[in-house]
Amino acid sequence: MNRAPHRLWKTSMIRPTMRSIGAGLALLLAVRPVAAQETAPAEAPDGFLEIVFSGGISGIAIMVGLISLSIITIYLIVDHLLTVRRRDLMPVGLDEQVRQSLVAGRIDDAVSACQAQPSLQSFVLLHGIAELEFGWTAVEKALEDALAEQSARLFRKIEYLNVIGNLAPMVGLLGTVVGMVFAFQQVASSQGAAGAGELASGIYQALVTTVAGLIVAIPALAAFAVFRNRVDQFVAEAAFQAQQVFGPLRKKRKG
């Protein structure tokens, strides 16, 4: 007799509870995607290669250009270390050997000594020897011309490092400007829906090319400064030694 009212009470309590649970689940399922969209930031590329490839064709092209410039810089630095050095440009003892030969009147021996050791110093001395028969004024003019020619040749040789040092930051800056244009274009196309996080992500990806450009430029400019000073030193020494080599002949002819 009492079971029917009890079952009715249980049924009347269970049905609203089930309806409430169902409504709560439906609301939770509807709210979670929205909350996830609002709270979960877009994942930004972490690795270097991911950042490079995230820049599209323009970003890849600029990075390839910077990598090429870095390879050329390394090659030039190694080449100059092996060629722009005292042993190759200023052979030890050559000036004294040529001076003694000239004082003794052995012009052919002096020429042979210079030809046996091709260098900055021998080039200058050969030009001076070639003008001996025309007097000291002609010799002095030949020495000046030879020094100017060799100095210009060596500076042209190392000038490429200076060009790369000035070009690389410009290429990197171009990549940054292009990347920032794309970042702001994305904000404009989304009608302002893109958040500050997405904008910052696009900007820091764009700045990677500027960093890469500076990484290439700084060693290139530093190496250029070192080799420029080295060339200046060698040219000055060659001029001084040439005066020492031909000095006795000048005094002899004046006497």
pLDDT band at 86 (very low <50, low <70, confident <90, very high): very high
CA atoms of 85 and 68, how far apart (whole Å): 26
Spatial separation of the C-alpha atoms in residues 82 and 75, rounded to whole Å: 11
What is the model's pLDDT at position 185? 74
pLDDT at 71: 97
Which pLDDT score, from 0 to 100, does residue 169 have? Answer: 95
Residue 248 confidence class, pLDDT cut points 50, 70, 90: confident
For residue range 174-227, list pLDDT tens digits in order: 988 887 877 777 777 766 555 565 666 667 767 888 899 999 999 999 999 999
Secondary structure of residue 193 in the 3-state scheme:
coil
Instruction: Note the pLDDT of residue 206.
Output: 74
Q: Which residues make Cβ contacts (< 8 Å) with residue 187, sequence separation at least 6?
A: 194, 198, 199
pLDDT recorded at residue 181: 79
* pLDDT at residue 229 is higher than 90: yes
**Chain Cα centroid distance, residue 199:** 28
Token code pair at residue 116:
């046996």
Which tokens hold the place of 130? 């070639």
**Cα distance between residue 7 and residue 21, in whole Å:** 21
The helix (run of H) or strand (run of E) holding residue 6 is: helix 3-39
Q: Given this model, what pLDDT does residue 189 score?
A: 74
Q: Distance between CA atoms of 216 and 73, rounded to whole angstroms?
A: 8
How far is the C-alpha of 127 from the C-alpha of 141, rounded, in Å? 9
Question: Could you give the count of Cα atoms lying within 13 Å of 20 in the half-sphere of its Cβ?
Answer: 5
Q: What local confidence, expressed as pLDDT, does residue 47 receive?
A: 53
pLDDT at 75 over 80: yes
DSSP 8-state class, residue 135: -
The better pLDDT of the pair 167, 207 is held by: 167
Look at residue 163 in the predicted model and tell me its pLDDT. Answer: 98
What's the confidence (pLDDT) of residue 178?
A: 82
Cβ-based neighbour number of residue 125 at 10 Å: 28
Between 79 and 30, whose confidence is greater?
79
Which stretch of 55-69, 145-159, 165-179 has the lowest confidence by average pLDDT?
55-69
**pLDDT for the residue 17:** 44
The model's pLDDT over 14-61, given as tens digits with 9 standing for 90+, comes to 455 445 444 444 443 444 444 344 444 445 555 555 555 555 677 788
Residues with Cβ < 8 Å from 66, sequence gap 6 or more?
A: 168, 171, 172, 175, 209, 212, 213, 216
Q: How far apart are CA 190 and CA 17, in angstroms?
A: 43
Task: Give residue 136's pLDDT.
Answer: 86
